[in-house]
Amino acid sequence: MYQNQCQNQDPQLTKIFQYVDKDRSGLISSSELQQCLSNGSWEPFHIDTIKLLMSMFDINKRGQLNFNEFQALWKYVNDWQAIFKTHDRDGSGSISRDELNQTLTSFGYRLSNKTYDLFMTKFDRQRKGDIYFDDFIQCLVALKMLTEEFSKLDTDRDGFVNFGYEQFINAAFSIL
Ligand code: CA
Ligand code: CA
Ligand code: CA
């Protein structure tokens, strides 16, 4: 079974996997993942984004990624990279508030200035008015998850939910 898996592996991705797997354990740890991903500034990928990605792709919950898990993650990150590049209209390597607004609007979100203020406060970590790739992923994935949770509760689809306390706690903890 394992051999079969190896034979079917994309050779280029096998090389990437071996490069990322610094200690040659055959698995990718959080810190190995953090070292290999670049956010476009000279900072390492933010650990919160690493944790988010690990939680999404560590399917067998061993705390590390095997080849298949890594393959899925790699595709996912590359897809986000393409979205990031498309919406980084001025080619600055980061997403400004206006660019974020255009991105989210193109995904169908209708959000007020106040919400964009909040996003910039949370994700513009260097206080330069820019969001880098790691925070961009985190912002959009969190927004998508929260929106999905909300939609489950907003059964009549009017954009409002009567939240009970425990419903709120449950929804929040299912995302955290
Ligand atoms: Ca390793
Ligand atoms: Ca795993
Ligand atoms: Ca930009």
Would you write out the chain's pLDDT as a tens digit for each of its 176 residues? 344 455 567 899 999 999 999 999 999 999 999 999 988 877 889 999 999 999 999 999 999 999 999 999 999 999 999 999 999 999 999 999 999 999 999 999 999 999 999 999 999 988 899 999 999 999 999 999 889 988 988 999 898 888 888 888 887 787 66
Ligand 3 centroid–CA 129 distance in Å is 10
Ligand 2 centroid–CA 75 distance in Å is 16
**Structural domain spans, the chain:** 2-175
Ligand 1 centroid–CA 62 distance in Å is 13
**Buried residues in 78-111 as b, exposed as e (16+ CB within 10 A):** eebbebbeebbeeeeebbbbebbbebbeeeeeee
β-strand pairing of 130-131 with 95-96? antiparallel
CATH architecture of 2-175: Orthogonal Bundle (1.10)
- Smallest-distance ligand from the CA of 97: 3
- Find all residues with CB under 8 Å of 171, minimum gap 6, and list them: 149, 150, 153
Ligand 3 centroid–CA 132 distance in Å is 9
Ligand 1 centroid–CA 67 distance in Å is 11
- Smallest-distance ligand from the CA of 53: 2
What pTM was estimated for this model as a whole?
0.85
